[in-house]
Amino acid sequence: MRKRVLSGMQPSGLLHLGNWLGALENFKALQADYDCFFFVADWHALSTNYEHTDKIKDYSRELLVDWLAAGIDPQRSTVFIQSHVPEHAILHLLLSMIIPIPWLERNPTYKEKQEQLAERDLSTYGFLGYPVLQAADILLYKPEFVPVGKDQLPHLELTREIARRFNSLYRPVFPEPKDKLTEFPRVLGTDGRKMSKSYGNTINLSDAEPVVRRKLKTMVTDPARVRRHDPGNPEVCPVFDFHKIFSTRETIAQVDRDCRTAAIGCIDCKTLVADRMVERLTPIWEGRAALTATPGRVEEIVRDGARRAAAVARQTLEDVKGAMKI
Ligand code: SF4
């Protein structure tokens, strides 16, 4: 039996290079050694977007297409949509009966997100309780590991606290999931800030080649390099960060040298990295095209995924109900 790993992603927009190089490449690698459950967390998207739900279905589908095109293998991994497995909602309800409200109010992202998204009214029951839904998502599958970045460690700790509280109130049902700390590479957007949908500076996996090239062409560089013959500093240039990700060691060394002596211009430098990026993205574009050309394929995969996920989730829920004597 391979150890189980579970991870989800919210369908809150189109996947970009940051998501791909961070989460998705990690998902792909995990498949070799673990029994993976990957789900689209569409109910979580409601917690901050309950007023604008018109895109959630489309984004969920796009997310799945990107996952599959980027190498998530539905034969090896269980790929599903959260709302297709209603056991998530049932466990969320049952857990919500035992969670003290102060646990949720002290969740660091609760206040932080309310401040970040000040234009939205997030004083809702669903937003406060989203860590309980998250705990239900995880605990239903009793995974050995949950891949997380450092900033998500407090969330996983809350899931463990919820598991402990349930186990001590009734009887041990939930093993405590361990974190699988994941390093995410720094991926900057076209404006030099962290790549993020909310900054509008992304290069998306669904962008066609000309769009990728155009976005790179207009990308900011070392601001001190005003004229072609001005020497530059690659360390302060986000294009050079892309070289570090996509180019060969020789090219990186050459760009590093040539930028500092102005032997290369920014346009040529960007073309070099665009070529490498296009090379890496081409298999994903081909995968996306193949999925789009086969109507019903994505739906078939998630139907099968939901069936496999529900088989596990139902069993856990039976244990939970047994322990709670309901
Ligand atoms: S030559 Fe390349 S690394 Fe140097 S400033 Fe221009 S784009 Fe950036």
Cα 210–Cα 11–Cα 105 angle in degrees, nearest 5: 135
Place of tokens 């939205």: 120
Residue 312 tokens read as: 């596990």
Q: What pLDDT score was predicted for residue 121?
A: 80
Q: What pLDDT score was predicted for residue 90?
A: 98
Q: What pLDDT score was predicted for residue 75?
A: 95
Place of tokens 């463990």: 160
State the closest ligand 1 atom to the C-alpha of 240, by its place in the atom list counted from 1: 3
Distances 41 to 64, 73, 136, 324 between C-alpha atoms, Å: 11, 18, 12, 27
Residue 81 dihedral angles phi and psi, to the nearest 5°:
-105, 130
Residue 264 tokens read as: 């290369």
Residue 55 dihedral angles phi and psi, to the nearest 5°:
-100, -10
Clarify whether 194 is annotated catalytic.
Answer: yes
3-state secondary structure of 14: coil
| Residue to substitute in 240, 254, 260 for testing ligand 1 pocket (most ligand atoms within 8 angstroms of CB) | 240
Clarify whether 197 is annotated catalytic.
Answer: yes
State the closest ligand 1 atom to the C-alpha of 219, by its place in the atom list counted from 1: 7
Distance, CA of 113 to CA of 122 (rounded, Å): 9
3-state secondary structure of 104: helix
Q: What pLDDT score was predicted for residue 107?
A: 84
Write down the catalytic residue from 28, 55, 197, 321. 197
In the sheet with 4-9, reading across from the earlier edge strand, the strands are: 78-81, 35-40, 4-9, 145-148, 178-181
Distance, CA of 229 to CA of 116 (rounded, Å): 41
Distance, CA of 246 to CA of 253 (rounded, Å): 13
Distance, CA of 260 to CA of 309 (rounded, Å): 54
Pocket of ligand 1 (CB under 6 A): 221-222, 225, 232, 234, 237, 239-240, 255, 259, 264, 266, 269-270
Q: What pLDDT score was predicted for residue 49?
A: 82
Residue 104 dihedral angles phi and psi, to the nearest 5°:
-80, -35
pLDDT in tens, the chain (326 residues): 899 999 999 998 899 999 999 889 999 999 999 999 999 999 999 988 888 899 999 999 999 999 999 999 999 999 999 999 999 999 999 999 999 999 999 887 777 777 777 788 878 999 899 999 999 999 999 999 999 888 788 889 999 999 999 999 999 999 999 998 877 777 999 999 999 988 899 999 999 999 999 999 999 999 999 999 999 999 999 999 999 999 999 999 999 999 999 999 999 999 999 999 999 999 999 999 999 999 899 999 999 999 999 999 999 999 999 999 99
Residue 269 tokens read as: 């430098």
| Residue to substitute in 215, 243, 255 for testing ligand 1 pocket (most ligand atoms within 8 angstroms of CB) | 255
Clarify whether 111 is annotated catalytic.
Answer: no
Q: What pLDDT score was predicted for residue 269?
A: 97
Cα 217 to averaged position of ligand 1 atoms, centre (Å) = 11
Distances 192 to 175, 222, 281 between C-alpha atoms, Å: 42, 10, 21
**Residue nearest atom 4 of ligand 1, based on CA coordinates:** 259
Regarding pTM above 0.85, the answer is yes
Q: What pLDDT score was predicted for residue 318?
A: 98
State the closest ligand 1 atom to the C-alpha of 260, by its place in the atom list counted from 1: 4
Q: What pLDDT score was predicted for residue 5?
A: 97
Cα 247 to averaged position of ligand 1 atoms, centre (Å) = 14
